[in-house]
Amino acid sequence: MKDQVTVIGVGCTKFGDNFDQSYEDLVVEAAQAAFADAGIEPERIEAAWLGTFSPHAGHGKASVSLGDALRLYGKPISRVENYCATGTDAFRHAAMAVAAGVYDVVLVVGAEKLKDRSVRGLASDGRHPYRDDGLTAPGMFAMAANRYFHQFGGGREALARVAVKNHHNGSLNPKAHFQMRVTEEQVLKAPLVAWPFGLYDCCPTTDGAAAAILCRADLARQFRADPIRVKGIGLAVTSGRPWYDSAFDYVGFEATRAASRQAYRMAGVADPVKEVDLAEVHDCFTWTEITNYEDLGFCGKGEGMRFIGEGRSALGGDLPVNPSGGLKSFGHPIGASGVRMIYEVATQLRGQAGPRQVPGAELGLVHNLGGPGAVACVVLLGQ
Amino acid sequence: MKDQVTVIGVGCTKFGDNFDQSYEDLVVEAAQAAFADAGIEPERIEAAWLGTFSPHAGHGKASVSLGDALRLYGKPISRVENYCATGTDAFRHAAMAVAAGVYDVVLVVGAEKLKDRSVRGLASDGRHPYRDDGLTAPGMFAMAANRYFHQFGGGREALARVAVKNHHNGSLNPKAHFQMRVTEEQVLKAPLVAWPFGLYDCCPTTDGAAAAILCRADLARQFRADPIRVKGIGLAVTSGRPWYDSAFDYVGFEATRAASRQAYRMAGVADPVKEVDLAEVHDCFTWTEITNYEDLGFCGKGEGMRFIGEGRSALGGDLPVNPSGGLKSFGHPIGASGVRMIYEVATQLRGQAGPRQVPGAELGLVHNLGGPGAVACVVLLGQ
């Protein structure tokens, strides 16, 4: 599939408390921005994918809602769901359909409207051990962070550096949910959510949508001179109950390791630290970003705190991570996040990211984690 | 994509009131039957798809449940959802991934466990006009059936013929939910659900799972001498609110017409009546099967009652429809149904359908309808 599929347009709404926009408003705004960016009419779209988490529990909508919102009738529209990795997996399916030669130009939209109702029970599948046991996402990831500190030393100061960095990046991003900087002291003194996570260690609850238009590589220059190429994609699912699995070491996620191995292999990436110029990774909690550095091969296991401490993942570092602001500051409307990361990496690769631009970016990585911790999707985009 | 992808194994549980089986039990039984049918070990599976409707509302499960049930770890597993067309759309995505050259051997499982809880609100997406207006699936399709009779004449006797045929076929099928024959008199005297539908005009609420193993066509003969080829696939989405759309004529479904056009074009089918040897179609209600005949091009609009009346869709007719017994008698565990239809058509094309065998079947059609009425997926399988 490498180099057979390109991204010719991207769009993204402002993320935030979008009480004045319906789910359909968000979908239309993101898709129309992508149409305009690609310079195409909606009629050119041959098939579409909607990445949204849970329409039938009242969060998000299903395939016909995308068709109705965009008047995209008589065409194939599918919904893909894979927990918090929903957006990237929807993108993956759109890319495979183009690579299969079934369609030339397709649309993927990720969207979620979370602020209109409680997110309690979002990660439930009806008879879910986490919910039954009263476990929440912060609680689960906090257990892992504590184990990580027990094994490798360090503590909340390392987490605070991630929050400070991502809030700084978000302050440069007019579409981010939170655009204010925070200090390490503010982060450490914030109300606790689940030790070691305080308020600024957790991503917010957010509304938003993002869209991308994919095109067969050999047709892409009909639309624009600088299409972005899909270099590699990987998806991996591990046990759905890592937190109950005696083989789980609580210090990282095999799903991320396996998905990134698949993507690196497809793209021919031998050394991600040298070859990847920037990464948008799944920082649902500050600790998750630290373990992601390690699981994605940016550094060894246990070295993530040093990686952030030395400023290597900051804007200006040798491998900027979450220049957008990340889930932490950009927000995390579940199904939208993966497509929003595609939007950011495409924007960076085109050199259009303004004050948060990573100079000379040629290869970017997108990483979504869900399940929780059991599903990871990695996409590599390049020029 | 035509002829690039084959089906090398299929499996299906007994459908019915499977109170003694969990969701995972159903998934494992269907998948292991497919592994045995293909003569492969589960380790050969490179990626998997789960077609299931609504895990996050408590019906079905999500991707990690398939991984856990089958110990399929470290590999890509995705959930695809498209209302009642979920199963066929999951199959479509598996086929496109193989056609893209990303994977050689993949698994698709459709599963749903509906009997453990109420199906009330199943078709809801939170702010759904149908539910808000008190509309149910029988009520909606009944409105269309009444309009159809108003326009073309005929009445409940035509519907009863579908019920009698499909119950007859189901009586020959040891995996069907209902294996008893009914007479036209029994159907007409059954308690009314929503005029003109009586009890025997409505498909039941059912538990079940089905599985298929897909393989690159050029590798298929490593596994078996008689792989089934994917000849054509189509998916179409129309307005999600056809019942409120002033352009909707209430006598058929444009989604089915558009999806079948796509599939016929890919397969090179010019005259479905002459070329298709059997069809498994979405008979959620008896009237739906009649309009499907027309929308799939088996006869003209308004001629469906004559099509069934002349016995053309019966076993022994020139285009047997639902030899399995259909949703009517085999049951309709939402995400499972499309894959179950793939199972039936593959079984027929191999000549292994026993007393319900369609002699000399070489090209079979699968049709799923959902949304309700807004989404249709059509798959053509051949030798």
Range in A236-240, A318-322, B30-34 the model is least confident about:
A236-240
pLDDT of residue B127: 45
pTM to 2 decimal places:
0.96
**Nearest-Cα residue of chain A relative to residue B232:** A102
Query: Which of B84, B202, B203, B377 does the annotation list as catalytic?
Result: B84
CA distances from A316 to A286, A310, A356, B113, B373 (A): 20, 11, 10, 52, 53
Tell me how close the Cα of A131 comes to any Cα of chain B, in angstroms.
12
pLDDT digits (tens, 9 = 90+) for A171-189: 999 999 999 999 999 999 9
Range in A69-83, A346-360, B126-140 the model is least confident about:
B126-140
Partners of B375 on chain A (C-beta within 8 Å) are: 63-64, 77
pLDDT of residue A247: 81
Beta carbons within 8 Å of B41's beta carbon, 6+ residues apart: B35
pLDDT of residue B54: 76
Q: Does residue A126 carry a pLDDT above 70?
A: no
Q: Answer whether A5-116+206-227 and A137-202+229-382 agree in fold.
A: yes
Walk along chain B (383 residues) in steps of 10 and give the mean pLDDT of each run.
97 97 96 98 97 73 90 96 96 98 98 75 46 75 96 97 98 98 98 97 96 98 96 92 79 96 98 98 98 98 98 98 98 97 98 98 97 94 96
Q: Which of A1, A77, A102 sits opposite B102 (nearest CB)?
A: A1
pLDDT of residue B125: 43
Q: Do B78 and A93 touch (CB under 8 A)?
A: yes
Residue A311 banded pLDDT, cuts 50, 70, 90: very high
For the residues of A116-176, what is the DSSP string, one character each? Answer: TS--TTTT--SS-HHHHTT--HHHHHHHHHHHHHHHH---HHHHHHHHHHHHHHHHT-TT-
Partners of B60 on chain A (C-beta within 8 Å) are: 125
Residue A58 banded pLDDT, cuts 50, 70, 90: low
Tell me the C-alpha distance between B244 and A128, whole Å.
37
CB B21 within 8 A of CB B207: yes
Partners of A375 on chain B (C-beta within 8 Å) are: 63-64, 77
pLDDT of residue B223: 95
Q: Where are the domains of chain A?
A: 5-116+206-227, 137-202+229-382
B284 is catalytic: no
CB A164 within 8 A of CB A184: yes
Q: Which of A59, A82, A258 sits opposite B63 (nearest CB)?
A: A82
Q: Does residue A123 carry a pLDDT above 60?
A: no
Q: Does residue A135 carry a pLDDT above 90?
A: no
Instruction: State the DSSP code for A13.
Output: P
Tell me how close the Cα of A141 comes to any Cα of chain B, in angstroms.
18
Q: Does residue A128 carry a pLDDT above 90?
A: no
Q: Does residue A121 carry a pLDDT above 60?
A: no
CATH topology of domain B5-116+206-227: Peroxisomal Thiolase; Chain A, domain 1 (3.40.47)
pLDDT of residue B118: 54
What's the complex ipTM? 0.95
Sign of CA dihedral B29, B35, B41, B46: negative
CATH topology of domain A137-202+229-382: Peroxisomal Thiolase; Chain A, domain 1 (3.40.47)
pLDDT of residue A245: 77
A84 is catalytic: yes
